[in-house]
Structure 1
């Protein structure tokens, strides 16, 4: 299946890597306004480039991956959908909830399929936790927690200044969507009950910290907290507390299990050979169903927008 890539940043390169290792997906062309980065990625992955977005959208392909800042997602989705391209979009879905809802409408208007880049649900850790919950291995789920702490923001490897801005960036937009979407898959759609989000004095900069309480179906509390500029190592911890077991996903891909009065143990899981891009391409071809739709992305966007207020 042939695709085009809009945005050759860090996440765009991950898509290029997956395509390079795939026997069923090929990125045939890409565009980025940063011409130096674009040429670097072209040379590394042997992918054709174009000099404009308009030129890219004329390339024969079946889907487009949008890996640009959130403020551009709605505009780009419409441009791709008008040309009959299925659309994969980077998270968060949009700049705000209103634009996210419009993106859902655009896809329906032009009859194209959509998917969000939420790779965690394809990982072994999530699939293990999902199965454990379905089989009631955790007992009754008492509480879910997400804690994210960063000594600096943006993180050292992030190259784009927009990630530090209040308009488009911050860890609530960049990190929280992965875990909000995962939580919705595991427990259903939740509702935000209360929150406090603190901002620095500079009105251009993103949030400094947040503490929030949401409620999941079954009256399960979901506690969310995070901050940057803290004197510690970066850590992202997602916990599901059950009466029989507690399961923890640390730093994206470490799965730990606790039982009453016993030391926590890390599980080593066998890695899957199928990538996010392979899974989504199967869905686009009508051969699979493991994907995250724009509708799910819009649901997550609602919580994100509420937390940012």
Structure 2
């Protein structure tokens, strides 16, 4: 197979990090031929550093002029739907940032279009590919803590957005907030590990500014087998903690701050669990390359994105509870 001709739409923090840290690992497999960014200063700086990559300010022009195999979409969530559908209409494989869309209806139409076009469609869900998550899944399968009885999901931040991720939309109620940006990762991981979330009861506290994202959130998410997940989230914590604590009838496992694994007889006795770096299956783009080459790969597609979107929408809109 010749190199996978790839373009990226959006050069924010995620877009530039994806290109710099991940795309660069596969020079023999993929070629970044073009990028699109509406901020002309950002685009100019990228062009100066990457003179061999063609630049655009309009994604429609890029899609019209470039012959692409793969499009990476890193624009704000409200733009995912239109950009992804335009790419799928041209039979281009799509790698989209999470969340998949800005509504459940948009997510469904994107999924349907991708399936009908028979293109590879992937969402940038990465948590199940962490070495700690792989080890966690193995321990659960082995019955290390017996039968799972309850789960705590903790999303605590001293401020939102965090200092490194500020942009014009990430603190907006429309398409930002910690539930959308961070919670979606954990929703996806939970449904991969434990099966579907069937019911959501939530209470979300918003500031007086009608355009601003949530301050606090409390929720009970009930799995298909009636196991409850207690979610607590806040932007007023002393320090950041993004963790899941799994209680079983024979012990406790915690995935702390994304990827560190702990286990013990009780939560108070948790001890670090070593993980094998060989279990690490990241980056996601490596998995997509394998899929495009017809090889076995672990990717999470638009159906994963749609299923996670359903829970996210129920969390953010407390009147919607039954999934």
TM bucket, shorter chain: over 0.9
| Offset, 1:289 | 3.5
Question: In the alignment, which residue of structure 2 is the partner of 1:254?
Answer: 260
> CA distance change for structure 1 residues 298 and 231 in 2, over 3 Å: closer, same or farther?
closer
CA distance in structure 1 between the partners assigned to 2:241 and 2:282 by the alignment:
27
Q: Deviations over 1:72-128 (max 9, x none)?
A: 111011111111111111111101101111111111232212111011111101111
Question: In the alignment, which residue of structure 2 is the partner of 1:35?
Answer: 40
Q: CA RMSD in A?
A: 1.9
Matches within 5 A, 1:114-193: 114-193=121-200
Question: In the alignment, which residue of structure 1 is the partner of 2:312?
Answer: 304
Are 2:126 and 2:282, in contact at CA under 8 Å, matched by a contact in 1? no
With structure 1 as the length reference, what TM-score do the two structures score?
A: 0.93
CA distance in structure 1 between the partners assigned to 2:193 and 2:102 by the alignment:
25
Question: In the alignment, which residue of structure 2 is the partner of 1:220?
Answer: 227
Question: In the alignment, which residue of structure 1 is the partner of 2:6?
Answer: 3
Unaligned runs of 5+ in 1: none
Question: In the alignment, which residue of structure 2 is the partner of 1:239?
Answer: 245
Are 2:146 and 2:249, in contact at CA under 8 Å, matched by a contact in 1? yes
Are 1:29 and 1:48, in contact at CA under 8 Å, matched by a contact in 2? yes
Question: In the alignment, which residue of structure 2 is the partner of 1:266?
Answer: 272
Deviating more after overlay: 260-269 vs 196-205: 260-269
Q: Deviations over 1:231-269 (max 9, x none)?
A: 401111111112233221222222222234873222343
CA distance in structure 2 between the partners assigned to 1:92 and 1:72 by the alignment:
11
CA distance in structure 2 between the partners assigned to 1:46 and 1:254 by the alignment:
39
Count the aligned residue pairs: 308
Are 1:38 and 1:49, in contact at CA under 8 Å, matched by a contact in 2? no
Are 2:200 and 2:315, in contact at CA under 8 Å, matched by a contact in 1? no
Q: Deviations over 1:255-303 (max 9, x none)?
A: 2222348732223433337521101221233212411111111111111
Unaligned runs of 5+ in 2: 318-323
CA distance in structure 1 between the partners assigned to 2:282 and 2:97 by the alignment:
19
Question: In the alignment, which residue of structure 2 is the partner of 1:288?
Answer: 296
Name the SS for the 2:179 alignment partner.
helix
Name the SS for the 2:169 alignment partner.
helix
Name the SS for the 2:269 alignment partner.
coil
Name the SS for the 1:232 alignment partner.
coil
Is 2:30 the counterpart of 1:25? yes
